[in-house]
């Protein structure tokens, strides 16, 4: 008899939801992660009393009531509302594009004036069938917003000129005709107090977890360790890349501890000019209103500069590139996966999908239903 009913590869949110539910109904579970910590990409590390988002800023937002109820079992969420700002050569604008943005840009006051200004700018461009991203954006929001808030940021993100990017990348550029700086439209939003790592720790309570363990090494030593495996790692890596490598966009983070209490006054500043090499600076303490777990102000601050980066095998995979080549390759791996008897692929890497956290949790609920017959 295998020692475990389930081997769960990956201690991120996807693996943690599955492990929690399997453990809850009495399954013997082992969770492993090749990293030296749990929580996957939502890992927060405590530095100077601040929960630092090590793999990029993570804001929990959802309209899925069952997901919100579920995560609230493991953490109390604060009332953080994401309201990033954009810095264009020192000019500050509110995001997402809303009446505060339009008012600053053109001195307009009413929604009607703002709408008229945007329409006038769109008409000036006279673009009927956009043939690239630049034309697409100009035909959606006009010249001023494009030049100051879209162009440089997008070019840095993709490493290419907007004229050389397909129009299809931007389907909509939502403009909000209210003075509302809340970035998300979702019903629920917040940051788990105490950090994401603590939240995942609670999910994994009572379950055997081994970090710093690579699936391949474990399985080479103990091939029959578990009856079934939930594999939340990259699907192509599982098959030793035998059909080819799935591609990603990557990011590089540069963090710094600063001897000051408040560096930029907000959690997220987007640098929308082309010349600044990074796209964003995150000041982590603002996610929790500049207070530590005991409610005390932290004398220092931690900031992280985020640089978009090309990806090569071995780099941290962040954003899947869901173009025709990669979709075809993924489907070929999927076909192999469907023939597996005891291994099920899950999570953002197993499914080669960008999932927000709530969607990753919802996908894990589906897996729990299929695998364990439990409806969440
Ligand atoms: P992961 O967290 O990646 O977990 C997979 C784990 O498997 C990893 O820890 C990895 O080490 C481990 N693993 C892989 N292969 C092996 C192996 N062979 N052996 C052992 N272990 C292995 N979502 C939001 O809702 N809000 C946000 O603001 C937000 N911001 C984001 C910012 C960035 C920069 C990125 C890239 C994503 C963001 N997301 C956000 C999405 C969020 O990160 C994901 O939804 C979430 O991390 C998915 O969790 P997961 O468990 O599927 O994958």
Q: 36, 172, 221, 338: which is the annotated catalytic residue?
A: 172
- The reply to whether ligand 1 has any atom less than 6 angstroms from the CB of 317 is no
Instruction: Tell me the average pLDDT of the chain.
Output: 97
For the chain, how many residues are written? 376
- pLDDT higher than threshold 90 for residue 255: yes
pLDDT in tens, 316-362: 999 999 889 999 999 999 999 999 999 999 999 999 999 999 999 99
- pLDDT higher than threshold 90 for residue 22: yes
**Residue with CA nearest ligand 1 atom 18:** 215
Q: Which of 7, 8, 9, 10 to mutate to test the pocket of ligand 1 (most atoms within 8 A of CB)?
A: 10
144-154: burial string, b at 16+ Cβ within 10 Å, e else: ebbebbbbbbb
- The reply to whether ligand 1 has any atom less than 6 angstroms from the CB of 84 is no
- pLDDT higher than threshold 90 for residue 172: no
- The reply to whether ligand 1 has any atom less than 6 angstroms from the CB of 41 is yes
Q: 33, 236, 273, 306: which is the annotated catalytic residue?
A: 306
pLDDT of the residue at 171: 87
- pLDDT higher than threshold 90 for residue 79: yes
Q: What are phi and psi of 281, to 5 degrees?
A: -120, 130
pLDDT of the residue at 183: 96
- pLDDT higher than threshold 90 for residue 121: yes
- Contacts of residue 331, Cβ cutoff 8 Å, sequence gap at least 6: none
pLDDT of the residue at 2: 84
Q: What are phi and psi of 178, to 5 degrees?
A: -135, 165
* β partners of residue 301: 258
Q: Please compute the mean of the pLDDT values over residues 103-121 and round it to a whole number.
A: 98
According to DSSP, the β-strands at 248-258 and 301-309 are: antiparallel
Annotation says 55 is catalytic:
no
- The reply to whether ligand 1 has any atom less than 6 angstroms from the CB of 13 is yes
Q: Please compute the mean of the pLDDT values over residues 111-127 and round it to a whole number.
A: 97
Q: Please compute the mean of the pLDDT values over residues 269-276 and round it to a whole number.
A: 98
Measured distance CA(203)–CA(245) in Å, rounded: 32
4-38+204-244+320-372 CATH choice from 3.40.50.720, 1.20.140.10, 3.90.1150.10, 3.30.565.10 = 3.40.50.720
- pLDDT higher than threshold 90 for residue 365: yes
On the CB side of 357, how many CA atoms lie within 13 Å of its CA?
Answer: 28
Q: 93, 188, 280, 352: which is the annotated catalytic residue?
A: 280
Instruction: Determine contact, residues 220/36, Cβ cutoff 8 Å.
Output: no
Q: Which residue has the tokens 């600076």?
A: 281
Q: Which of 40-54, 94-108, 163-177, 356-370 has the lowest mean pLDDT?
A: 163-177
* β partners of residue 330: none
pLDDT of the residue at 83: 98
Q: 115, 249, 274, 353: which is the annotated catalytic residue?
A: 249
DSSP state of 164: G
Q: How would you write 236-274 as a 3-class SS string?
A: HHHCCCCCCCCCEEEEEEEEEEECCCCCCCCCEEEECCC
For the chain, strand residue ranges (E) read: 4-9, 29-33, 44-47, 50-53, 60-62, 85-88, 91-94, 188-190, 208-211, 226-231, 248-258, 268-271, 280-283, 301-309, 319-320, 343-345
| Domain positions in the chain | 4-38+204-244+320-372, 89-169
pLDDT of the residue at 351: 97
Q: Which of 8, 12, 350 to mutate to test the pocket of ligand 1 (most atoms within 8 A of CB)?
A: 12
pLDDT in tens, 286-307: 999 999 999 999 999 999 999 9
pLDDT in tens, 35-64: 999 999 999 999 999 999 999 999 999 999
Instruction: State the distance from the centre of ligand 1 to the C-alpha of 356, rounded, in angstroms.
Output: 9
- Contacts of residue 192, Cβ cutoff 8 Å, sequence gap at least 6: 60, 71, 74, 75, 76, 77, 78, 198, 199
What are 275's two structure tokens? Answer: 């010349």
- The reply to whether ligand 1 has any atom less than 6 angstroms from the CB of 85 is no
- In the chain, pLDDT over 90 holds for what percent of residues? 95
- pLDDT higher than threshold 80 for residue 1: no
């Amino acid at each position: 008899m295998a020692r475990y009913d389930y081997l769960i590869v990956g201690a991120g949110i996807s693996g943690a939801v599955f492990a929690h539910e399997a453990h809850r109904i009495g399954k013997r579970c082992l969770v492993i992660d090749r990293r030296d910590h749990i929580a996957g990409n939502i890992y927060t590390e405590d530095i100077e009393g601040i929960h630092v988002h090590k793999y990029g800023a993570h804001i929990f937002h959802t309209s899925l009531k069952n997901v919100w109820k579920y995560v609230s079992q493991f953490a109390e969420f604060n009332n953080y509302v994401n309201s990033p700002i954009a810095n264009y050569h020192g000019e500050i604008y509110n995001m997402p594009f809303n009446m505060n943005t339009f008012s600053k840009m053109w001195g307009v006051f009413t929604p009607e004036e703002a709408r008229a200004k945007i329409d006038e700018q769109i008409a000036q461009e006279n673009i009927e069938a956009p043939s690239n991203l630049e034309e697409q954006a100009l035909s959606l929001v006009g010249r001023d917003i494009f030049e100051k808030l879209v162009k440089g940021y997008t070019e840095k993100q993709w490493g290419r000129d907007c004229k050389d990017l397909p129009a299809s990348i931007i389907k909509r550029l939502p403009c909000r005709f209210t003075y509302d700086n809340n970035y998300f439209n979702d019903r629920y939003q917040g940051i788990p107090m105490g950090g994401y790592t603590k939240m995942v720790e609670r999910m994994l309570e009572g379950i055997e977890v081994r970090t710093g363990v690579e699936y391949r090494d474990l399985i080479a030593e103990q091939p029959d360790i578990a009856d079934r495996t939930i594999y939340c790692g990259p699907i192509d890596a599982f098959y030793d890349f035998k059909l080819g490598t799935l591609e990603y966009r990557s990011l590089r983070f540069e963090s710094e501890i600063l001897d000051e209490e408040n560096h930029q006054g907000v959690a997220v500043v987007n640098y929308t000019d082309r010349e600044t090499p990074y796209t964003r600076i995150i000041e982590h303490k603002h996610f929790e209103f500049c207070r530590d777990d005991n409610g005390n102000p932290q004398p220092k601050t931690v900031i992280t500069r985020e640089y978009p980066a090309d990806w090569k095998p071995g780099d941290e995979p962040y954003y899947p590139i869901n173009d025709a080549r990669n979709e075809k390759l993924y489907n070929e791996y999927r076909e192999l996966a469907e023939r597996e008897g005891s291994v099920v692929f899950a999570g953002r890497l197993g499914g080669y999908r960008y999932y927000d956290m709530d969607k990753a949790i919802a996908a894990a609920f589906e897996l729990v239903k299929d695998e364990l017959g439990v409806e969440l």
